[in-house]
Structure 1
Amino acid sequence: MSDTSLGTTTATEIDTETDEESADRSLGTETDNEMEPWITDVRSPILEAEELVVQYGDIQALQPVSVGLPEKEVTAIIGPSGCGKSTFLRCINRMNDLVDAADITGSLRFRGKDIYDDDVDPVALRRKIGMVFQKPNPFPKSIYDNVAYGLRIKGQTENMDEAVEQALKRAALWDEVKDQLDKSGLDLSGGQQQRLCIARAIAPDPEVILMDEPASALDPVATSQIEDLIAELSEDYTVVVVTHNMQQAARISDKTAVFLTGGQLVEFDDTNTIFENPKHQRVEDYITGKFG
């Protein structure tokens, strides 16, 4: 691969849309004439899918998806349960490779390089494309070791204290834990645990951060903290967030992708356009609560 540093988050969860399982390995249908690839006109998108299809055995989880996601913006992915949101998200850093039944065709390019090429190391890729999951999943280690884990996997041995501090600061957690770095990450509150997982994901210095329902298990105060953090992270990272909460998508994102039943990406546009003047009636019906 052109960038040999491409490569992983330090913790993963695998599911086929609903089942969740942590693993320490990563850090209604449109008619034919309505279907079209939603390739955006953004300049030099950092991520580009073209005719991306995912099958789980006999089940087609993702219809052909063509889309370009902009750099250093927040893209929200919304849609009803089982519509392919998480499946698409997990294609972006090849998490679906860990699902035996998954068959992926088409292309998905990161900075112009197809991440499914034979010469791409998925582990290296996930260091460039980190991931945060719905349920906070800190390791049963100290706060310090949670954040340092990905750095050690990466082979970093110098300036570890500085790197851990920087990641915790970026995750808006440093001031709360700086005097107890030897405390177990499992002893933190739910919101703190999720920010610790974000710190762990950003410590290896990725370019993209994927988030799968990062606030759904949190209370309103912790959710607000995560949303504020997402806005701050987008200044330095490209952030892609799956959420069932449409109000949250409207608050935090620059772009929104709408997946509907059948694994179809029906519309992708500026978030304001999606919520105020969508092009498709089905999208408007979903957003206004007529179905879904």
Structure 2
Amino acid sequence: MSENMSEEERTALDDRIETAESSDEEKLIETSISTGETTTTGTVEEEIIEARDIDAYYGDLQALRGVSMSIPTNRVTAMIGPSGCGKSTFLRCINRMNDLVDTARVEGELLFDGQNVYDETVDPVALRRRIGMVFQSPNPFPKSIYDNVAYGLRVQGKTDDMDERVEQALRDAALWDEVKDQLDKSGLDLSGGQQQRLCIARAIAVDPEVILMDEPASALDPVATSQIEDLIEELAEDYTVVIVTHNMQQAARISDKTAVFLTGGELVEFDDTQKIFENPESDRVEDYITGKFG
């Protein structure tokens, strides 16, 4: 977000975003269940998402400035950068979660399978069915493990073979063996790591094409974090995964591509992860990676 924001303004904005996410979370499950130095090189791959000169605002505050990048299919793309740099804002632009914030607006084009998601003809409800989201803190519904996973399926009328669908989603989320004998247990009774994997199972049960993850392991212990990282790598075999993380080591471990956002909402460099961490084009990125600022 803008480096000119006061701490009071930043806190108020964060509160508005969190309130929108909390109040519309169940609705989301129902519907989903300017520097010119940006570098975007690397191997050419099939793209599923393409951002073209995206600017994002919260009221008069500009959170993203001219962001352009292409996200490859069935790969893990990580977004890193210091707090307030716009990476989470960009993530929310992809499936129009920012629509839930009254003061938010987005300019530019963001293509998903070749269509601008901000076109007037695009239904955000239908869009979120194809682009699922996992939030920073685990947020299972106060329902049984089974009903958490089945919820989106029921809303979408996908009730055939429900038991098999629920089991497969839990297997894909690497949770089935731990909960198969307690599916009637409340999802709220699980550990933090298990709750987050339950939320991932809930997201993939409705068979999206893309999974967005906003700091999915930041609230977890090292063991649970390792489980989530292993899971993300497995999910990329079937889904396109886009993850926001403050943990540069995590990005280096699990991602194929890395986007580096810096203060002021700039995407400074986007490239193969190995290139970003070993030989970045931008001196600013090198300074961030090596800890000279951030």
Give deviations 1:206-255, integer Å, cap 9, x for gaps. Answer: 01000000000000000000000000000000000000000000000000
1:260 maps to which residue? Answer: 262
Equivalent position of 1:200 in the other structure: 202
The question of 1:159 aligning with 2:165 is answered: no
Partner of 1:125: 127
Q: Does 1:229 align with 2:227?
A: no
- Segments of 5+ residues of structure 1 without an aligned counterpart are 1-14
Residue of structure 2 in register with 1:5 after alignment: none
Identity percentage of aligned residues: 73
Match of 1:251 among 250, 253, 256: 253
Deviation (angstroms), 1:155: 1.4
Change (3 A) 1:63 1:41: farther
Residue 42 of structure 1 deviates from its aligned partner by 2.8
- Higher helix share goes to which structure? 2
Contact 1:17 1:84 in 2 (8 A): no
CA distance in 2 between partners of 1:38 and 1:277 (Å):
13
TM (norm. structure 1) is: 0.90
Root mean square deviation of aligned Cα: 1.6
Q: Distance in 2 between matches of 1:38 and 1:101?
A: 30
Q: How many Å separate the matches in 2 of 1:119 and 1:181? A: 40
Corresponding residue number in structure 1 for 2:83: 81
TM norm structure 2: 0.90
- 1:7-66 Cα offsets, whole Å, 9 max, x none, are xxxxxxxx9557634221212xx7x4x534747763331000001110111100000111
Q: Is the 8 A contact 1:38 1:266 kept in 2?
A: no
- Note closer, same or farther for the CA distance 1:273–1:242 as it changes in structure 2 (3 Å cut): same
2:197 partner SS: helix
| Structure 2 residue corresponding to 1:274, chosen from 273, 276, 286 | 276
Q: What is the CA-CA distance between 1:120 and the residue it aligns to?
A: 1.2
The residue number in structure 2 matching 1:220 is 222
Query: Structure 1 103/40 Cα, relative in aligned 2: closer, same or farther at 3 Å?
Result: farther
Amino acid paired to 1:204 = V
Aligned to 2:213: 211
Within-5 A mapping of 1:1-292: 20-21=18-19, 22=22, 23-27=25-29, 32=35, 34-36=36-38, 38=40, 42-292=44-294
Aligned pair count reads 274
Instruction: Give the gaps of 5 or more residues in structure 2.
Output: 1-11
Q: AA paired with 1:20?
A: E
Distance 1:245 1:239 in 2: 16
Q: Secondary structure at the match of 1:26?
A: helix
- Residue 156 of structure 1, CA deviation: 1.1
Q: Which letter maps to 1:101?
A: T
Looking at structure 1, the residues matched to 249 and 42 of structure 2 have their Cα atoms a distance apart, in angstroms, of 23
On the 8 A contact 1:168/1:196 being kept in 2, the answer is: yes
Secondary structure, counterpart of 2:107 in structure 1: strand
Conservation of the 8 A alpha-carbon contact between 1:54 and 1:102: yes
CA distance in 2, matches of 1:242, 1:276: 20
- Structure 2 SS opposite 1:218: coil
**Is contact 2:51–2:109 with CA below 8 Å preserved after alignment?**
yes
The DSSP-based 3-state class of the residue aligned with 2:238 is coil
Would the aligned equivalents of 1:17 and 1:86 in 2 still touch at CA under 8 Å? no
User: Which amino acid letter does the alignment assign opposite residue 210 of structure 2?
Assistant: V
Aligned 8 A contact 1:74 1:240 in 2: yes
Contact 1:37-1:66 at 8 Å conserved across structures:
no
Work out whether residues 39 and 270 of structure 2, in 8 Å CA contact, stay in contact via their aligned partners in 1.
no
Q: What secondary structure does 1:274 align onto?
A: helix
Instruction: Identify if the C-alpha distance between structure 1 residues 16 and 66 changes in structure 2 by more than 3 Å, giving closer, same or farther.
Output: farther
The verdict on how the C-alpha distance between 1:267 and 1:37 changes in structure 2, with shifts beyond 3 A counting, is: closer
